[in-house]
Structure 1
Amino acid sequence: MSEYRLPTAVRPRAYELTLWTDLENATFGGFVLIKLDVVEETSVVVLNCSSDLQVSKASIALGEGLSHTPVSVVDKGPERLTLGLPSGSLLSPQTKAELKVAFNAPLRGSMNGYYKSAWKHDGKTEYYALTQFQPTDARAAFPCFDEPALKARFTITMISRPGTVSLSNMPVASEGAYAASSSDGFLEVPAGEWKVTTFEETPLMSTYIVAFANGPFEFMEEKVQMPLSGRTIPLRVYATPDIIHQAGFCLSLSAKVLPLYEKLFRVEFPLPKLDTLAAHDFDMGAMENFGLITGRTRAFLADPKKNDIGSQKLIAKIQSHEISHMWFGNLVTMEWWDYLYLNEGFASLMGDVISIDKIFPDWDAEAAFLIRRTSDAMFVDGKRSSHPIEVPCPDVAFLNQIFDGLSYSKAAAVLRMLSNFVGEDKFLEGVSIYLKKHIYGNTVSGDLWAGISTAAGYDVGSMMSNWVKKIGYPVLTVTESANGITVQQNRFLDNGKPTPEENETIWTIPLAIRSVGDDGKARTDNGAVLSTREAVFEVDTGRPFKLNADAFGVYRVLYTPERLSKIAAEAAKPDSMFSLSDRMGLLYDVAALSNAGFLPVSSLLDMVYQWREEKSHMVWSTAWSNLARLGHVFWEYPAIIDGLRELIRTLFEPMITRLGFEFPEGEAVATIELRKIALAACLRGNVESVAQYLHGQFIAYMDTGDESVIPAEILRNVFTAAAKYGGRREFDALLGLVENGRTPAIKTGAIVGLGYTQDPALLDELFAYMVTKARDQDVASFCRGLQLNPAARRPLAKFCFENYAVFAERFGTNSTLKYFVEECFCRMTAQSDYDEIEAFFKDKDTSRYSMVLAQVLETIESYVVTIERSKDELTAWFVKWEQTQK
Structure 2
Amino acid sequence: MGKVYYVSKNVGLGLLVLAATALATIIALSIAYDKERAKNRDKPEDGTSDSTGMPTPPTTPFIPKEPWDHYRLPESLVPVSYNVTLWPRLEPNADGLYIFTGHSAVVFRCVKETDLIIIHSNKLNLTTFNGHHAKLSGLGGAAVPTIQKSFLIVKTEYLVLQLRSRLAVGTSYVLHTEFLGELADDLEGFYRSEYTDDGMKRVVATSQMQATYARKAFPCFDEPAMKAVFNITIIHNSATVALSNGRDIGTTDSVIDGVPVRVTTFEPTERMSTYLLAFIVTDFVNIQSTQNSNLLVRIWARRKAINDRQGDYALNVTGPILQFYERYYNASYPLSKSDQIALPDFNAGAMENWGLVTYRETALLYDPIMSSTGNKERVTTVISHELAHMWFGNLVTLQWWNDLWLNEGFASYVEYLGADYAEPTWKIKDQILLYDVHKVFAVDALASSHPLSRREDEVNDPAQISEMFNTISYSKGAAVLRMLSEFLTEPVFAKGLSSYLNTFAFSNTVYTDLWDHLQQAVENTPGMHLPDTVHNIMNHWTLQMGFPVVTIDTRTGSITQKHFLLDPESVVDRPSQFNYTWFVPVKWMKTGVEQQQYWLLQKTDVHSLMRVSGEDWVLANINVSGYFRVNYDLDNWDRLLSLLNTDHQALSVINRAQIIDDTFNLARAKIIHTTLALRTTKYLSNEREYIPWESALRNLDYYILMFDRTEVYGALQAYLKKQIQPLFEYFKIITADWTRVPTGHTDQYNQINAVGMACSMGVEGCRELIQGWYRQWMKNPHPSPIHPNLKSTVYCAAIAFGGVEEWDFAWRMFKNATLASEASRLRSAMACTKVPWLLNRYLDYTLDPTKIRKQDATSTIQYIARNVVGMPLAWNFVRAKWSYIFQQYGKASFSFSNLIHAITRRFSSEFELQELKKFKEDNLHVGFGSATLALEQAIEKTTANIKWVTENKAQVLKWFTEEST
Superposition TM-score, scaled by structure 1 size = 0.94
After superposition, where does 1:85-104 map in structure 2 within 5 Å?
Answer: 87=164, 89-104=165-180
Residue 467 in structure 1 maps to residue 514 in structure 2? no
Instruction: Say whether the 8 Å CA contact 1:632–1:827 is kept in structure 2.
Output: yes
**AA of the residue aligned to 2:75:** T
Matched, 1:783 2:865: no
Q: 1:36-47 counterparts in 2 under 5 A?
A: 36-47=108-119
In structure 1, what is the Cα distance between the partners aligned to 2:689 and 2:424?
15
* Partner SS for 1:100: strand
Contact 1:572 1:610 in 2 (8 A): yes
Does structure 1 residue 23 correspond to structure 2 residue 90? yes
Corresponding residue for residue 295 of structure 2 = 233
Question: Closer, same or farther in 2 for the Cα pair 1:27/1:537, shift >3 Å?
Answer: same
Q: Can you list the C-alpha shifts for 1:410-442, whole angstroms capped at 9, x where unaligned?
A: 110011111111111111111111111111111
Residues 74-473 of structure 1 mapped to structure 2, 5 A cutoff: 74-78=150-154, 79-84=156-161, 87=164, 89-180=165-256, 191-225=258-292, 231-244=293-306, 245-306=309-370, 308-351=372-415, 353-392=416-455, 393-457=459-523, 458=530, 459-473=533-547
Distance 1:681 1:14, change over 3 A: same
Contact 1:61 1:99 in 2 (8 A): yes
SS at match of 1:74: strand
Q: 1:677 to 1:93 in 2, by over 3 A?
A: same
- Answering whether residue 605 of structure 2 is matched by residue 535 of structure 1, we say yes
Q: Is this contact kept in 1: 2:892–2:930, CA < 8 A?
A: no
Specify whether residues 266 and 550 from structure 1 end up closer, same or farther in structure 2 by C-alpha distance, changes over 3 A only: same
Distance 2:111 2:824 in 1: 51
2:103 is matched by which residue type in structure 1? F
Q: Which moved more, 1:531-540 or 1:564-573?
A: 564-573
Superimposed CA distance per residue, residues 802-837 of structure 1 (whole angstroms, 9 cap, x where no aligned partner): 121221122255415433333222322212111101
Q: Does 1:662 align with 2:738?
A: yes
**Displacement of 1:63:** 4.4
CA distance in 2 between partners of 1:674 and 1:63 (Å): 65
- CA distance in 2 between counterparts of 1:63 and 1:716 reads 61
Task: Compare 705-714 and 331-340 and name the one that shifted more.
Answer: 705-714
Structure 1: how far apart are the matches of 2:248 and 2:470?
Answer: 35
**Separation in structure 2 between the aligned mates of residue 206 and residue 855 of structure 1, nearest angstrom:** 33
Q: Is the CA contact (8 Å cut-off) linking 1:283 and 1:814 kept in structure 2?
A: no
CA distance in 1, matches of 2:842, 2:144: 57
Shift of 1:454: 1.5
Q: Distance in 1 between matches of 2:81 and 2:581?
A: 46
Whether the 8 Å contact between 1:53 and 1:142 is mirrored in structure 2 is no
Q: Residue type of the partner of 2:188?
A: N
User: CA-atom RMSD, angstroms?
Assistant: 2.0
Counterparts of 2:163 and 2:444 in 1: how far apart (Å)? 54
Name the CA shift for 1:500/1:247 in 2 (closer, same or farther; >3 Å). Answer: closer
Cα pair 1:298 1:744 within 8 Å, conserved: yes
Provide the rounded CA distance (Å) in 1 between the counterparts of 2:677 and 2:695: 11
**For residues 526-550 of structure 1, what are the alpha-carbon distances to aligned partners after superposition, in whole Å with 9 as ceiling and x for unaligned?**
2x11111111113241322111111
Question: Is 1:479 aligned with 2:553?
Answer: yes
- The 2-side partners of 1:758 and 1:85 are apart by 62
In structure 1, the partner of 2:652 is 579
Distance (Å, rounded) in 1 between the aligned partners of 2:275 and 2:258: 31
What do residues 225-273 of structure 1 show as CA deviations (whole Å, max 9, x unaligned)? 1xxxxx1211111112132231111111111100100000001110011
SS at match of 2:765: helix
Higher mean alpha-carbon deviation, 317-326 vs 542-551, is at 542-551
Does the CA contact (< 8 Å) of 2:865 and 2:874 recur in 1? Answer: yes
Superposed CA offset, 1:16-61 (max 9, x none)? 1111111112211111111111112222211000034434442111
Distance 1:420 1:795, change over 3 A: same
- Check conservation: 2:463, 2:891, Cα contact below 8 A: no
CA distance in 2 between counterparts of 1:318 and 1:90 reads 48
Question: Aligned-pair distance for 1:677?
Answer: 1.4
Is the 8 Å Cα contact of residues 44 and 82 (structure 1) preserved in structure 2?
no
Aligned counterparts of 1:371 and 1:756: Cα–Cα separation in 2: 24
| Alignment-derived partner of residue 588 in structure 2 | 513
Equivalent in the alignment of 1:523: 594
Amino acid aligned to 1:806: Y
Letter of the structure 2 residue corresponding to residue 858 of structure 1: E
CA gap 1:364/1:634 in 2 versus in 1, 3 angstroms = farther
User: Deviation of residue 703 (structure 1)?
Assistant: 1.1
Task: Specify the SS of the correspondent of 2:721.
Answer: helix
Equivalent pair of 2:100/2:182 in contact (CA under 8 Å): yes
Give the aligned length: 859
AA partner of residue 567 (structure 1)? L
* 780-789 or 337-346, larger mean C-alpha shift: 780-789
Q: Which of 710, 730, 733 does residue 809 from structure 2 map onto?
A: 733
1:132 Cα deviation after fit: 0.5
Alpha-carbon shift at residue 179 of structure 1 (Å):
4.7
CA distance in 2 between partners of 1:343 and 1:82 (Å): 29
Following superposition, the deviation at residue 572 of structure 1 comes to 4.6
| Cα shift at 1:377 | 0.3
Distance 1:394 1:814, change over 3 A: closer
Closer/same/farther in 2, CA of residues 500 and 23 from structure 1, 3 Å limit: closer
Specify whether residues 71 and 214 from structure 1 end up closer, same or farther in structure 2 by C-alpha distance, changes over 3 A only: farther
Contact 1:51 1:76 in 2 (8 A): no
For the structure 1 residues 70 and 723, does the alpha-carbon distance in structure 2 shift closer, same or farther, using more than 3 Å as the test? farther
Match in the other structure for 1:841: 920
**In structure 2, how many angstroms separate the alpha carbons of the residues matched to 1:693 and 1:702?**
15
- Give the aligned partner of residue 961 of structure 2: 879
Which residue type is aligned with residue 218 of structure 1?
Answer: V
Equivalent in 92, 97, 122 of residue 50 of structure 1? 122
Describe the shift of the 1:278–1:611 C-alpha distance in structure 2 as closer, same or farther (beyond 3 A). Answer: same
Structure 1 Cα separation of the partners of residues 890 and 876 of structure 2 = 21
After TM superposition, give the deviation of residue 707 of structure 1 in Å: 5.5
> Which residue of the partner structure matches residue 708 of structure 1?
784
- Find the counterpart in structure 2 of residue 184 from structure 1: none
